[in-house]
Structure 1
Amino acid sequence: MARAIVLRLLTGAPRSRHQLEQALAKRGVDEQVSARVLDRFTEVGLVDDAEYAHMLVRSQRESRGLARRALALELRRRGVVGPHADDALATVDAEDEEESARALLRRKWHAGRDLAPEVRARRATAMLARKGYPGALAGRLVREMMEETRSDDSEDRHDPWDPGSLD
């Protein structure tokens, strides 16, 4: 029974050992039986928390744009801690994180074109914080985006009757 439950769960999506342990416990499977089944699945490579952690970090960064801090929370929530989590999180460097934050910010910024700049800045900063980006990074990127927007707006404004405003 435990083997069938684990196979069915793994067919749907990859899972951590902790998630599988919880699912088996919820279905009333004895802990010793659960441990033996999961040990065997780990032995043959069907349950691999290290690979699961790397896959989760990669997919959550790409799909949701999460920063290292949010990724660490997501891994912990799914029961992946220690060296497996640390190794997976080490694949995200500061430059990648900043580039992801910039891409998220651009999308959020352009979506709020009709809003006042202060509102756009507040919402963008909050969004980056929810995604786990450090406050200093979020603040710096939002200030840069505000300056960029101001300079774009000043370039777009020219007096059509003043031939010198086109320079």
Structure 2
Amino acid sequence: MVSFYDPDEGRKKKRVDREAARKRREKRREWAANLEGEHAISAAKEAALKQLDRQDRSRGELVSKLKERGFPLEAIEVAIDRLEEAGLVDDERYARMLVRTRFNERGLVGRALIEQLRKKQIPPAIIDAALEEVEHVSLEESAREIAARRARAMLGLEKQKQVRRLTSMLARKGYPLNVCYSVVNQVLQELNADGDE
């Protein structure tokens, strides 16, 4: 016998599942809030380790996640301190890794990198130290590489559109506007010179 999908039943089931999930979260929060002493610390540490299993996180992110789950603040602080002592939570290492990967994979610099690190709740002093990772890199060279790659895909567009799209793309990646305009003009001139030959 064939079983057909009934949209009304499907919607009800999803609502029930969401409601059940919300109730489970509330129960977990109540349970976590009622923990005391070493039990609270070990439960907070276990929850933090589960977060770290999924991906590396900053101290601020872990504090936010554990507060959201209802753990007492004192237990959170002690648990994260223990993880820092074990070397599992290290904001400096995490910030440097983020700067390297965001620069190498996405071409982010300056403001865009700072914004990414702030979202990850990295302290300002550590942000400044982490940005030294890409200080030695020439903004013009990296912007030129990114713009040249993207410009090839825009060959059929009119020049104004190319300029607007390339400069806005570089600006979103954190490059200063003067660098954006000069690099885009150079790349488009080179591209047009190659196209004329």
TM-score range normalised by the length of the shorter chain: 0.7 to 0.9
Q: What TM-score results when the alignment is normalised by the length of structure 1?
A: 0.88
Q: Does 1:31 align with 2:73?
A: yes
Q: Does 1:129 align with 2:171?
A: yes
Report if the CA contact (8 A) 1:68-1:92 is conserved.
no
Q: What does residue 162 of structure 2 align with? A: 120
Report if the CA contact (8 A) 2:151-2:162 is conserved.
yes
Report if the CA contact (8 A) 1:16-1:48 is conserved.
yes
Deviation at 1:84, TM superposition (A): 1.4
Q: What does residue 148 of structure 1 align with? A: 190
Q: How does 1:1-167 map to 2 (within 5 A)?
A: 1-93=43-135, 95-154=137-196, 156=197
How far apart in 2 are the matches of 1:137 and 1:113?
Answer: 22
How far apart in 1 are the matches of 2:140 and 2:82?
Answer: 41
Q: Please, which runs of 5 or more residues in structure 2 have no aligned partner?
A: 1-42
**Which structure's CA Rg is the greater one?**
2
Describe the SS at the equivalent of 2:133.
Answer: coil
How far apart in 2 are the matches of 1:103 and 1:146?
Answer: 12
Identity of aligned residues (%): 37
Deviation at 1:94, TM superposition (A): 5.6
How far apart in 2 are the matches of 1:95 and 1:31?
Answer: 41
Are residues 83 and 19 of structure 1, via their aligned partners in 2, closer, same or farther at CA, if it must alter by over 3 Å? same
How far apart in 2 are the matches of 1:94 and 1:79?
Answer: 25
Q: What TM-score results when the alignment is normalised by the length of structure 2?
A: 0.75
* 1:89-132 superposed Cα distances (whole Å, 9 cap, x missing partner): 01112634332211210111011111112211110001001111
Equivalenced residues, count: 155
Q: Please, which runs of 5 or more residues in structure 1 have no aligned partner?
A: 157-167
Which structure 1 residue ranges, 4+ long, deviate > 6 Å from structure 2? none
Describe the SS at the equivalent of 2:100.
Answer: helix
Letter matched to residue 112 of structure 1: M
How far apart in 2 are the matches of 1:72 and 1:51?
Answer: 16
